[in-house]
Structure formats: C-alpha cells, structure tokens
Structure 1
Amino acid sequence: MQKPSIPKGTRDFSPEEMAKRNYIFNTIREVYHLYGFQQIETPSMENLSTLMGKYGEEGDKLLFKVLNSGDCFAGISDEELLEKNPVRFAAKACEKGLRYDLTVPFARYVVMHRNEISFPFKRYQIQPVWRADRPQKGRYREFYQCDGDIVGSDSLLNEVELIQIMDEVFRRFGIRVCIKMNNRKILSGIAEIIGEADRIVDITVAIDKLDKIGLENVNEELRSKGLSEESIARLQPIILLNGSNRGKAETLKSVLASSLTGLKGVEEIEYILDHIERLRLVTPLEFDVTLARGLSYYTGAIFEVKALDVQIGSITGGGRYDNLTGVFGLAGVSGVGISFGADRIYDVLNQLNLYPADSLQSTQLLFVNFGEKEAEYLLPILAHLRAAGLRVEFYPDAAKMKKQMSYADAQKIPYVAIVGETEIAEGRINLKEMATGEQTSVAVDELIGRFS
C-alpha cells in the first residue's frame, strides 16, 4: 500500500508548531490593532481575470490555475488539444486560480465594496497564498502572509507608520533585523538618465537580485535583456552607491538632477527619514538604491526586512502602489502596505530559539483517572478550575498509572493531580510535580492560587 504524502512545498504543522505559529499571528495582529487596522478575509480562489497581468510575466507563470468543474474540455477543439499549448489550454479550461498574494485580492475587495468603506481604509489580512515556485529552503508553495495596507491616502505618514509597525513586531519577537528602503521613482529616474527609460522593469528585476547572484551576473542579465554596454557602465556607480542614508540622498540629487521623477523619489525618501529620525526605533533603517522588489505594481516607497542573525531571504516586504485599483475600474486610490512572511519568521524564531515559554503552554494539570466513582467526584472540580482559567485535563480511561504518567510526560504537562478514596474523604488533592517527582497535598481551593 502506497504511503500517503503531501505536495512538495507544503507542510503539516503539529500542535506544538501551531502554538508557535499562533504566537506569530497573535503578535502581528496585536501590533496592527495598536495602529487601528481592521481585519478582513477574501476567498482562496479568485477569478483568473482578477489575478492575471498583475504580477508581471514571471508572476503570471507562478499562478496555480484551477480546472473548471464539470467538463473542462468543453469549448476546446481537438486541434487545440493536439497543439499541447499549456497557456492556451489554461485560458479556456481554467476560469479561477489560487491567490498569489493578498494585495491584488484586497484591491478587488476595495473596488467591490467601495460604497461600504470609509477612506482611508486600514485593513490587515492573515491568510495563506499559493505560488507554483520551485520549493527550497525558506520558499514554499503554500505559505501565510500577514498584510497590512492603508488605501485612500497619499500621505507619507502612512509609510512612517508602517516602518514603526515593522520595528515593533520584530522588537516583540526579539529578532535583530534591518529595514531596507528605496523608492520606485528613484529607479525610474535611474533608468531615465542612463537612456533606458522603457526598460525599467528589466532593470529593476535584475538589480533586485544583486544580493543573490552578485554584480557580474546582474550585468550579464542586463546584457541579455538588450541593455547597451554604455548604459550598464553608467549604472555601476549607482548600484554600488554607499555611505549614510543622508549621504546617498545627497549624491542622488546630483546624479538624478535631470530627472523630475527621480528627484521626487529622493524627496519622498528624505521626508520619511525626517520623521523616522524623531522616533526611537530599535531597528536600523537603510536606504538601499539596489532594492527593487520584483512586483510591478509598486510606484513609490518600497521596503524589505532582512534578518541579521540567520541566512534567509527577506522576511517582510511592501511598498506604495498608486494605480492598483485602477485596473478594476476605480482610479485615483493610492495605497501602501507591508506583508510579514509568517513562514520565514517561523523558521527564524525556530533557528534562534526565541519563542517565550508561555507562548507554547498547553495543559497545566492532568487529573489521573482511577474509575467511575472518582470521575463523578472530579468532573465538577475540573469545571470549577476551568472557569477560573486553568488549563486542565482528565485522563479519559481508568488505565494503569504508568500509562497515564507517560501521557503527561509526552504532552509536557508539568503537574499531575492524584485523587483516590483517601483524598476524596479528606477533600484534598495529591499534586505531583513531574520535573522533580515531588508530591504535595493541597486543598481544592488552593489549586487555583497555585496556578494563577
């Protein structure tokens, strides 16, 4: 008989792993609430017409498409089947797809519910997304995103607020990170001044890989996209720009002097720096000219968070998008948002062993089962303890003591309560601490005080 398995790039999560994941989700949720964000959810499946064309050519290839229910071959000729063209087949046989991110479904939600929404609209969403990517360390085909977006406001104070949220979340997790920031207008300005304004997407996709593939490979990719040697040469000092955030901004003002778009990007970076410098952030904020973020819908500030003590890709990212709702028929609604990569954060917290002990708490106290008479006596006591907030279990079977103790060990339950005929007669409970084996006789009412 074939052993069951799960698709590559997906994972099962045990009760202990779920306790850790819930710690992540709850921490992020609490910080979003501090800033007035409200939660929504959207369906796992969207119409492909909603998803296609929003993530660039590379993103479209990574969409999981869902075959139409019923006869998925209806309307497809024999010639088309024999042609074996997957793109053409999918266009006719698939009307729906699994969402690739939460931002595009959110834009669709805003357009559909525009009459019920008060702007600016601050929403957060914690749900899984799917990408037909090649699974590797830190990269999964099914993973959770924890998005926060503000739409209906052009103010750069929103960017300042999102930086504060990222700082606070990672401070609570205890993960040392660096927030990298850039602006797509600066990248557009760079493309303009090197004479390659129409190749902005090719340039951004290539230089976004600088950390991963190195300068030579970035240049090779630019050549393969048709950039001239002169343009590539003019790009080098900009890509390799270093120094302080303010120093980089000053240099770029000179470099981008002939590009109004580029100068506007520098101005926006300086505005954010002006306000962030007044706040006491734990996290360093680095202005990085090579940060591009692959997604094609960003138009302003862009962000990426890197863990400093673990080798892994970005664990949070985001930016401003001015025209995303426009593709759904609602023009003039600007938005800015971030997305915490819960699965990568989970891996980082595991590697650094940063979970607080109380975040993994399960049962505090197990009551041993000696039989029906003891069960009748104990059930009201258990109900009383649970009403007081104690996490207690009653072993369901009157099994051998060794088996019940083994269960407590396996479940990492720190205390076991032993109540037999003698304890019932005296109205007391024999409390055993599993770590030391020490036993104490306590009154029922004392138990609540012991655990609260």
Structure 2
Amino acid sequence: MAQTPSIPKGTRDYSPEIMVKRNYIFDTIKNVFRLYGYMPLETPAMENLSTLMGKYGDEGDKLLFKILNSGDFISNIPENELLEKNSIKLTNKISEKGLRYDLTVPFARFVVQHQNELTFPFKRYQIQPVWRADRPQKGRYREFYQCDVDVVGSDSLLHEVELIQIVDEVYRCLKINVRLLINNRKILAGIAETIGYPDHLTNITVAIDKMDKIGLDNVNAELREKGICEKAINKLQPILNLQGSNQEKLEKLQDILKDSPIGLKGIEELTTVFDYLKELDIKTEIRLDLTLARGLSYYTGAIFEVKALDAEMGSITGGGRYDDLTGIFGLKNMSGVGISFGADRIFDVMNQLDLFPKNNTTTTQILFVNFGNKEEKFCLPLLKQLRSNGINAEIYPEPAKMKKQMTYADKKGIPFVALVGESEMQEGAVSLKNMLTGEQTNMTIEEVIHRLQA
C-alpha cells in the first residue's frame, strides 16, 4: 500500500483560496512600505552558518535548521569522534550552511557585502520565508513568512517614528485593532546596572521578556536560576510594575535610573520619539512596557512589539534598533532599525475575525460557458478584449453539460457567467448572468466591460 503523503510538522500548504488572502496581506504591506521610500530585496534561503551563528543568543542558535554538507560528509570524520556522540561538535564538521532564522541578519550581511554599491541611508523591504526549529503550536510555525522593513546608515530617531507610522498605516488598512508596545534596550541596560547586575543583561532580558507567557513568579524563579540575588530581584519588581501614562513612567524612570548614564540615554531617546508622535495623527495605542525586552541579542535601542486586541495571538509584529549588527561582519558605525510583520499570524488573526474583503477570494470575474467549437472561436476575441481591459476572464475548456459548467462557476465563486449561443453570435451580443441574483441581460461586450469595471 502506498504511503499517505504528508508535510513536516510546523509547515502548511496554501490552497489557491488561502493564497489570494495571503497576497492581499502582502500587497497591502508592500504598498505601505513603498509609500515611505523602501525598495524590495531578496536574499538566499540558506546562509553560511558562520553568518547566522552567534547573532540570536544561545536560545536562537539552538533553533537554527542546519543543512548537511553534500556528498559523503561522514567519511572524513575520525571514528573516535563518531563514537563520542557529541552532536554539537559533530554538526560543526558536517554542516556549513543553515536556513535563515530571520531576514535581519542576512540583510546586515548583504549591506556589508555590497556596501560600495549602496546609497545610505539604505531603505529596503523584504518579504520571504524563514525557518526555526521551534515546537509547533498555535500561531507558531517552523516555516513562516516575515515582511521586514529596515533602514541602515542613520541613527536618526525619525526612523523609529516612521516605523510606528508604518505600523499604524498597515493595521488601519487591514482593519486590525492593535496595541504597539515600545521600550528601549538602553533602559533595560540601565535597570540591570541599577539593580547591581550590569553583566547579566542578557539573562535578565531573556527572563523578563517571558513575563506575559509565564507570569511574574516564574520570571523571578528564572532570574534566581541565572544567579540574580533576592535583593536585586526585589529591587526589580517595582520597576517592572510601573503604572501610569507613558509620560509618567518616563518621569519615574528618570529618578530610578538617575545614576545610570546608559539608562538616561534610553529615556531621552524614547522621550524624543513620543514628542515627535504628538505631532502626528496616530490612531494606534502606543504603550511603554518595561517588561518588553525582545530576546534577540542584537537590539541596542528602541524595541517594538505589536499585538492584536481582538484575537488571542502572540506578537504579530516586532523589531527594534541594532547599532552593532553590521559591526559583527566588519562594518563599524552603521546604525540600523527595522520592524518585521508576521504574515502567518496576521493571516490567522484576519481569518479569526473575518476581516478579509468578501470578494477577495474571487480571481475570475466572468466565465464564458462553452457551447462548442464555433462558439469557442467567437468567444476567444471577446475574452482577449476583456483581459486587455483588466478583467479576469476564462472560458470553460470543453462543451460539457450546462449544470457542470454552472457548478464550476459557483464553486469558484465566479460572480458572472457569459452565455453566447447562436442567437447571441448573430446579434453580436453576450447574455450576462449574475450568479448571485440570477438576473440575466443581453449586452454588448463594451457594456459587459463597463459593468464589470464599475
């Protein structure tokens, strides 16, 4: 018996109906990106592991999908090393490439590699799949698409403001109610400094970034496991639980972090961003959240996260500033900031809330019923005329029974059917049937075009 085909866990097939919806999301996001002067870019699905490793922290490195070297990759490995069964050591010798974990590190690699060809500030958008060896669960996949927009070569905070505008515009167009959370890694560094653990910034940020997933008690337990003393943990609690408006939180932080230059710098940057935003008609709620840390270790300034308000889903957009990322590849003093829209999670939210346009799944606007060879020859020029006017049109490929052709149109959600028989050919007309109302009217092809373009 033949084995039933399947796909790997954490991946999905996309039917034509789903692809039409996904393309609606991609097109909406692309259009907004273009409004702000960003240009398209693509990079390879796989990168050298030397490019990827060490850029996402220890937890991120564990989630990289590694690709085995071609050929007989085991033959050159000493037998004693095989018997050791040290998978990490062995992987380094049999795998030199991996699937990209995100689009930001490959982007930084591209900038360094092509720096002499680019005009800075360099603004690009990129919509491609990424892969993570994560445990599949609701809203979390092993293969998923990211829609990234980044700018490098400028440390102006106007870019942070621009990214917030892009978030506001994208979700307004998609009709998703969202909240944008914002923080600054410099503030987090200042907090680590203030509680006496400046060298434990990564451990602290990785822990508190899980606050909304595991709760405060478990965050504190993780901090203890990482070697943070009880006194420091107690000192951290009121900071993480700061209440009030964004302005009030910043004022309280000003006092708490008064002895931390890096913390005060983060406060200054966020204050500047909020001051710019006062001049703009931003509809999205923006909240300063001190538990927002974003675990990726390359962030150095502002960090963002966006959550849907009307659906149960994790972050659907996230990003931040990464002053040091290109420096890892040898290009110093190249500040960058970007944000990534999670297309798969956005799709799930829109499906859950029924936000896709009702006519969005229809690709064919009109189907010509096939009555035979003579009618086919008559209809082909009409189809060409419709398509030249931007109308999606097709003809049933064979003169099947009328019921079968109508069922085809109905199942595909085609709104109009054209019937052209002997009398219509003699009159040079088309009998246009509205599949929703059942109304049928004789028209010229010019009138059909006008009707479908209305």
TM-score interval for Structure 1 and Structure 2 normalised by the shorter chain = over 0.9
Greater mean deviation of Cα atoms: 188-197 or 71-80: 71-80
Residue matched to 1:391: 392
Residue matched to 1:273: 274
Residue matched to 2:202: 201
Within 5 Å, give how 1:40-439 maps onto structure 2: 40-439=41-440
Residue 360 of structure 1 and its aligned partner are, at CA, apart by: 2.8
Counterpart code for 1:77: P
For 1:275 and 1:443, the matched residues in 2 are separated by 56
Residue matched to 2:448: 447
Greater mean deviation of Cα atoms: 156-165 or 71-80: 71-80
Residue 445 of structure 1 and its aligned partner are, at CA, apart by: 2.3
Residue 75 of structure 1 and its aligned partner are, at CA, apart by: 2.4
Q: Tell me the TM-score normalized by structure 1.
A: 0.99
Residue 212 of structure 1 and its aligned partner are, at CA, apart by: 0.8
For 1:13 and 1:421, the matched residues in 2 are separated by 41
Counterpart code for 1:44: A
Residue 358 of structure 1 and its aligned partner are, at CA, apart by: 4.2
Counterpart code for 1:103: T
For 2:323 and 2:236, the matched residues in 1 are separated by 26
Unaligned 5+ segments in structure 1 are none
Residue 438 of structure 1 and its aligned partner are, at CA, apart by: 2.2
For 1:435 and 1:152, the matched residues in 2 are separated by 54
Counterpart code for 2:384: A
Residue 387 of structure 1 and its aligned partner are, at CA, apart by: 0.8
Q: Tell me the TM-score normalized by structure 2.
A: 0.98
For 2:125 and 2:446, the matched residues in 1 are separated by 43
Instruction: Give the number of equivalent residue pairs.
Output: 452
1:190-245 deviations in Å (ceiling 9; x for gaps): 00011111111010000001111111010011011111011101000001111100
Residue 436 of structure 1 and its aligned partner are, at CA, apart by: 2.4
Residue 437 of structure 1 and its aligned partner are, at CA, apart by: 2.2
1:276-325 deviations in Å (ceiling 9; x for gaps): 01111010110111110010000000000011001111000000011101
Counterpart code for 2:57: G
Cα pair 1:75 1:92 within 8 Å, conserved: no
Residue 133 of structure 1 and its aligned partner are, at CA, apart by: 0.2
Cα pair 1:41 1:127 within 8 Å, conserved: yes
Counterpart code for 1:173: L
For 1:357 and 1:249, the matched residues in 2 are separated by 44
Cα pair 2:362 2:412 within 8 Å, conserved: no
1:356-377 deviations in Å (ceiling 9; x for gaps): 2343331111101111111111
Counterpart code for 1:444: I
For 2:340 and 2:243, the matched residues in 1 are separated by 27
Residue 252 of structure 1 and its aligned partner are, at CA, apart by: 0.4
CA RMSD of aligned residues (A): 0.9
Counterpart code for 1:167: D
Counterpart code for 1:113: H
For 1:378 and 1:47, the matched residues in 2 are separated by 54
1:366-397 deviations in Å (ceiling 9; x for gaps): 10111111111111111111111111110001
Counterpart code for 2:19: M
1:41-100 deviations in Å (ceiling 9; x for gaps): 000000000000000000000000000011111421111112111111110000100000
Greater mean deviation of Cα atoms: 424-433 or 279-288: 424-433
Counterpart code for 1:400: K
Unaligned 5+ segments in structure 2 are none
Q: Secondary structure at the match of 1:60?
A: helix
Moved over 4 A (4+): none
Residue 432 of structure 1 and its aligned partner are, at CA, apart by: 1.5
For 1:444 and 1:64, the matched residues in 2 are separated by 55
Shift in CA distance, 338/108, structure 1 to aligned 2, threshold 3 Å = same
The share of aligned pairs that are identical, in percent, is 65
Residue 425 of structure 1 and its aligned partner are, at CA, apart by: 1.4
1:140-194 deviations in Å (ceiling 9; x for gaps): 0000001111100011111011111111101111111011000000000100011
1:232-282 deviations in Å (ceiling 9; x for gaps): 010000011111000000000110011001010101110000000111101
Q: Secondary structure at the match of 2:12?
A: coil
